[in-house]
Amino acid sequence: MGKIRILIVEDEPNILESLSYILRRANFDVAIAANGLEALERLSRTKFSAMILDVMMPGISGFDVLRQVRADRKLCDMPVIILTAKGQSRDRQIAHEAGATEFITKPFSNADIIACLQQVTGTG
């Protein structure tokens, strides 16, 4: 069985680095995208088991990416974990409406992220 492939979309380089580090440690196959456009490009080329998606990004926001993903017939089943620093209930609601699978507020605990990922990909 091959590694599970995860796409991390995050514009903050330090967070991107820490995320990819812990995910690789947890034996995931990690791809990264620094903004929404890049993420959509990668999604169109490769199939991922799940995506970790930051909300506040330059250009296309995380919610917009999510809505496009859900609108795409090929991608609509992919679990998406929304990652946000904005933690207000309104954002949680928007995320839910846009079709987020999970919602994690920054700062997060590494263990939580891994547990969540394992849960949504069914590898736990």
CA distance 26 to 49: 15
User: 90: which DSSP letter?
Assistant: H
Footprint on residues 63-122 left by other proteins (CB under 8 A): 84-88, 90-91, 105-111
Question: How many Cα atoms sit within 13 Å of 27 on the Cβ side?
Answer: 8
User: 99: which DSSP letter?
Assistant: T
> Strand pairing of 102-105 and 4-9?
unpaired
- Which of 7-15, 33-41, 43-51, 63-71 is the region at the interface with other proteins (rule: CB under 8 A)? 7-15
Choose between 55 and 80: whose C-beta lies nearer to other proteins.
55
**Residue 17 touching other proteins (CB under 8 A):** yes
Footprint on this chain of other proteins (rule: CB under 8 A): 12, 14-15, 17-19, 21-22, 25, 56, 84-88, 90-91, 105-111
